[in-house]
Amino acid sequence: MNLHFSAEGQTWPIKLTGNAERTRSAMLRSLPQALQLHTPKIAGSHIYWHAPFVEDVEGATHVLDAPAGAFIYWPVRQFLEITFAPLQAETAQVTVLGVLDAPVEGIAALAATLKRDQGRRIITGSLTLADGEMPAPAGLSPLPADLLAKREQLWAAMPGDIARVTSSRAIMHPAGPVFAAEGEARVLHELLWWVRAEIGNRDETALRQTAALALNKTATRLRDFCHMEETPALLFALEAAMNGPLPFAALIDEAIIVAGRIGAWIDLLIPWNDLNEAFRNALDR
């Protein structure tokens, strides 16, 4: 089975390989995907976008062993990625889903554009089935329809309160609120993954309380420090749900998907390469 990855007027084929059936099925059920591409900040030679599903690692390949052109799912980051060269030192286990069926130079050129332009514009793309097949439909969620609708709305478009966070020119704005918001969302996303990993090992009530407290803390910071309203409201709703009867496994996955998407939208506002160059220049003076 093949996929088509498209961006900036070009299309690259991806050949699905391996035996990661659970992750592959989740990925296929999410197609077609409308993508917003991100430039990496730590690992280097890859492009990525956030995945609208949550799965544990399957097959467990060390990320530094993924060859150039690998199509991978990075669970705790919740990324789908295409590599084009060896990555910089980082320790993580990933799921290899396939391989780019084209020269990696095209992805490397796209990555250079992405590195230059992130924060100035959002580079979009798509991931689709190449052969016209239709994936099996996803099963019904046990979560309330209104909560699912809010998550779908979040995934469909950048919330207005996130889009506006770069508009202020008050003292140390917009850098202060933007970096605070991105850090809060990213740490929440990681902590919720940690909570999820403890299902079956720790008391569920304690895990629910931990998740609820983390959601409340991030929502409060986004509201009170970063001048947001719409985005914190969804996190507060998830906090309230953690204290109710909804099934915890489905609820923690939903919270992870929401937190990851919030962090992803904020990340797209940041001109990381320009900031890194300015930081280097300041240190090297």
The pairing of strands 2-7 and 93-100 is unpaired
Burial class (CB in 10 A: 0-12, 13-18, 19+), 184: buried
Q: What is the mean pLDDT of each run of 10 residues along the chain (285 residues)?
A: 95 94 95 95 89 94 88 93 84 92 96 96 96 70 94 96 95 94 97 97 97 98 95 97 96 98 97 94 93
pTM confidence score: 0.94
Any idea where the domains of the chain sit in the sequence? 2-129, 145-272
Structure tokens at 25: 């099925």
Q: Alpha helices, DSSP H only, in the chain?
A: 21-29, 105-117, 145-156, 160-163, 175-197, 204-224, 230-242, 248-267, 272-284
Q: CB neighbours of 204 closer than 8 A, spacing ≥ 6?
A: 248
CATH fold for domain 2-129: Cyclophilin (2.40.100)
